[in-house]
Structure 1
Amino acid sequence: MTNTVSGFSKLSKEEKINWVAKEYFSNPSEAISLIKRYWNADEKLQQLHDEFIENTLTNFYLPLGVAPNFIINGKKYTIPMAIEESSVVAAASKSAKFWSTRGGFKTTVLNTEKIGQVHFIYTGDTLKLEQFFLAIKEKCIAATEGITKNMQKRGGGILDIELKNKTHLIDNYYQLHTTFETKDSMGANFINSCLEQFAKTLKEEALLNETFSEEEKNIQIVMSILSNYVPNCIVRAEVSCKVSELAEKKIENPQDFAEKFVRAVQIAEVEPFRAVTHNKGIMNGVDAVVLATGNDFRAVEAGIHAYAARNGQYSSLSHAKIENEVFSFWMEIPLALGTVGGLTSLHPLVKFCLEMLEKPNAKELMQIVAVAGLAQNFAALRSLTTTGIQEGHMKMHLNNIINQFEATIEERVLVTNFFKHNIVSHAAVVDFIENLRK
């Protein structure tokens, strides 16, 4: 095996595949066959996918499922979810049905402000920098007119620029902290283009500023980049009903259930070890919809987890209470999403998912995504505080275990029937299949 390869990106797709197969697989032809088995038969569609990233070999599939029966602010939705974890779509669907007869989900978008920063080093008098910034602020904004013109037509654009003194953190470190409204686009390219222009104007104007010394004129731009932490781009999702209305087959004593549920949330509010897993459950729902609608789930994850730690300790994103015999469960999370631009106009299944959601704008998608997260969290907590999480999860996981052993149709029927009445564990399923085959 060679240590490095030169000019890999310039090789043809076939050459890349052949190189990978020969370098890393004992049976290259088998590896190549597997890669090509996941190609789309439609050459035009395959080319579209190939061009999403560099050095594409093939497609990596995730199941795309739907969770029906969601009622959000009185409107019915079937929510698309792209995810590999076995119990997520089932749990979301169960929560949707549960709350559909109890008033549904209520949502509110509290704000849609995005953030970007120019990080720079200035070695000089802070007061002079502050006066300089006030003098050039409007020039900075005016210099971006070519970039912001179309966004302004849609009602978006630059909201404000502030100079922030961060010298208490790093010597001579300052920021141009900028807020944006990007309407239905996530806005990353727009924000970054504006920031780079601010940086250029800042440097140019500093060189012309007569109040600066030669040293002060030499402002060093470190970087210009949007932030995925958007604590002022917030959506709230909630459900509530009378405690007595929580009753169902597995909730025989709704008062006990409600109290235990609230206690479980309180534990996640104060115990970081529990909070991480608690919030991961929320992200099961959030990420699945974010991915299905062509948005950046890594950016969403990073921003939401930062928000969960905004008070100095990582804590639960969701909250619950019982007040005047009413059970309430709610969550506020930051979500910077788009329904135009990027993959939303390129990926056929993303377009399919957005159409199934009746072509939501960015605010509406924020609400749908937040509801998916809250529904997932409710389902997990309901299981944890009643039957336990493993009963439902392992039954859903049973198919994965069966598939690992390439079970025949007859074996699959026997295994499924047996575990309808027995506890599912990986070891138990393996033992049962091995005994069958003896």
Structure 2
Amino acid sequence: MNHKPIEGFSKLSKQGKIDWLINEYLQGNKEYQNILKQYWNENVELQKLHEEFSENTVSNFYMPYGIAPNFLIDGKLFALPMAVEESSVVAAASKAAKFWIDKGGFKTTIINNEKLGHTHFILNVESHKLLHFFNFSLKKKLLEATEDITSNMRKRGGGILDIKLVDKTSEMPNYYQLKASFDTVDSMGANFINSCLEQFGKTLKQEMTISEEFTQEEKNSLQIVMNILSNFTPDCIVRAEVSCKMEDLKDDSGISPEEFARKFKQAVTIAEIEPFRATTHNKGVMNGVDAVVIATGNDFRATEACAHAYAARDGQYRSLTHCTIDHDVFRFWIDLPISVGVVGGLTNLHPLVKFSLALLGKPSAQELMSILAVSGLAQNFAALRSLVTTGIQKGHMKMHLLNILNQLGATEQEKQHFVTYFKDKTVSHHEVIHEFNRMRGQIN
């Protein structure tokens, strides 16, 4: 079928958008309209609120919202909200929290809280000449020009921390940066940072125009390419860790604490040196992080991009978590670069985000950083614990069992039978199908 482009799609009503989609792409099948409408919220005002979060909205896409209890973090007990669709994530996090609760729980440290942004520009000038201009004139002007923008942030204890001139001409002809660091306190700060950077670009152009240090040819060569924050924040970092004596690692896995610790450390070391393993290893970390990021109304795409860039900061992609065994003390930790906020954006609008932040005790941005790092560490601990003992599939497939049964159209009575049937067995898709067909009388 040859589809036709459409002009003015965004100007159509919601029903108009749906009608066009059904007629143009779905052969006029009204069943698909019903699928969209069944996820509309009956509360008209709430539905309108959700539709205004984004553009061209025709429905809502629901995700399970679960709770992982028993997280002892820096001496305080938390129940973590997690918005995630992947089987076993909430269960694994909860299991890890329970494991560590009587061993001192999780400890966290904010290592730094700086966020970054850049004005990228092209200028055909000798670098020493530009550096002199920056140090003795421009930097002061940049700070003065942004005083109105930063005034409220400065009252809250944040603002522009520093501005540096970065010479990148060895990598790209005539390419320079104004690299600025910021403290945005409890906000993620994207709009604040970008506003400051855009003013930097304007001020740079203005000051170049009136400066007597440059020739007209040099002034004419100035191009402000872009002003934009960076989602790579290697100086906005939090550490979360757990530790205990080796003997306290004993559990019901059937292996000794010493063997468990040795295999666990080997698994982490493999992720530190082998990118193929590190990718899956860190994906598991982010299962925990992203679930809480989404539940608290933050940007999980920025969180992912930053974490993975940090994992490759020395030129090879490596594990975000680390493990040591020293004098019979087992220690497991993560250094996570993460930029989040608890004011602004969805935090004041989305009802479930409000609930999540209230559930967490209305944390500051730094406290939320700590909680997120803990959720990632807990998830990684649970995954590695399974991998080096019973194997990952035993727990994962038990959580996936209901998904398989729902696909087969199993009744509640049949679901209960399968829970009992697999109580002491490893779930496999083939075995579920076989037993389901046997129950339905399709095989002997």
Task: Look up the match of 1:58.
Answer: 59
After superposition, residues 348-359 of structure 1 pair within 5 angstroms as 348-359=351-362
TM-score by length of 1: 0.98
- Measured against aligned partners, the alpha-carbon deviations of 1:110-148 in whole angstroms (never above 9, x if no partner) come to 110000000000012222211222211111111111111
Shift of 1:311: 1.1
Give the superposition deviation at 1:27: 4.7
What is the CA-CA distance between 1:26 and the residue it aligns to? 3.1
Aligned length: 438
What do residues 345-404 of structure 1 show as CA deviations (whole Å, max 9, x unaligned)?
010000000000000000000000000000000000000000000000000000000011
User: What is residue 311 of structure 2 aligned with on the other side?
Assistant: 308
Compute the displacement of 1:23 (Å).
1.3
Equivalent residues in 2 for 1:303-382, closer than 5 Å: 303-382=306-385
Q: Who is 1:179 aligned against? A: 181
SS in 1 for 2:239: strand
Q: Is the 8 A contact 2:255 2:389 kept in 1?
A: no
Partner in structure 1 of residue 395 of structure 2 = 392
- For 1:279-299, what per-residue CA distance to the aligned partner results, in whole angstroms no more than 9, with x for missing partners? 111000000000000000000
Amino acid at match of 2:38: R
Tell me by how many angstroms 1:184 deviates.
0.2
Distance (Å, rounded) in 2 between the aligned partners of 1:126 and 1:409: 73
CA-CA distance at 1:207 after TM superposition: 1.1
Alignment partners' CA distance in 2, 1:191 and 1:176: 13
Question: Which residues of 2 match residues 152-231 of structure 1 at below 5 A?
Answer: 152-218=154-220, 219-231=222-234
- Does the CA-based 8 Å contact 2:3-2:25 persist in structure 1? no
Please give the alpha-carbon distance, in whole angstroms, between the structure 2 residues aligned to 1:130 and 1:68: 54
**Match in the other structure for 2:104:** 103
Report the counterpart of residue 34 of structure 2 in structure 1: 33
Q: Please report the RMSD computed on the Cα atoms of aligned residues, expressed in angstroms.
A: 1.0
**Is 1:22–2:26 an aligned residue pair?**
no
Residues 187-232 of structure 1 deviation map (CA, whole Å, 9 limit, x = unaligned): 0000000000000000111111122112211210110000000000
Instruction: Tell me what 1:93 maps to.
Output: 94
Q: Is the 8 A contact 1:251 1:257 kept in 2?
A: no
- 1:63 and 1:84 in contact (8 A); partners too: yes
For residues 293-349 of structure 1, give each alpha carbon's deviation from its aligned partner in whole angstroms, at most 9, with x where no partner exists: 000000010001000011111011111111111100011010101000000001000
**Distance between the aligned counterparts of 1:27 and 1:146, measured in 2?**
55
Deviations 1:36-58 (A, max 9, x none): 10000000000000000000010
CA–CA distance in structure 2, aligned partners of residues 235 and 14 of structure 1: 46
Query: Where does residue 74 of structure 2 map in the other structure?
Result: 73
Q: Note the residue ranges of structure 1 that are not aligned, 5 or more in a row.
A: none
Is 1:124–1:215's contact at 8 Å kept on the other side of the alignment? no
**Which deviates further from its counterpart, 410-419 or 234-243?**
410-419
Check conservation: 1:206, 1:212, Cα contact below 8 A.
yes
- Map of 1:107-126 to 2, 5 A cutoff? 107-126=108-127
Code of the residue aligned with 1:97 in structure 2: it is K
Partner of 1:151: 153
Identity %: 61
Partner of 1:265: 268
Distance 2:190 2:217 in 1: 33
Higher mean C-alpha displacement, 250-259 vs 142-151: 250-259
Amino acid at match of 1:307: Y
For residues 202 and 177 of structure 1, the distance between their equivalents in structure 2, rounded to whole angstroms, comes to 13
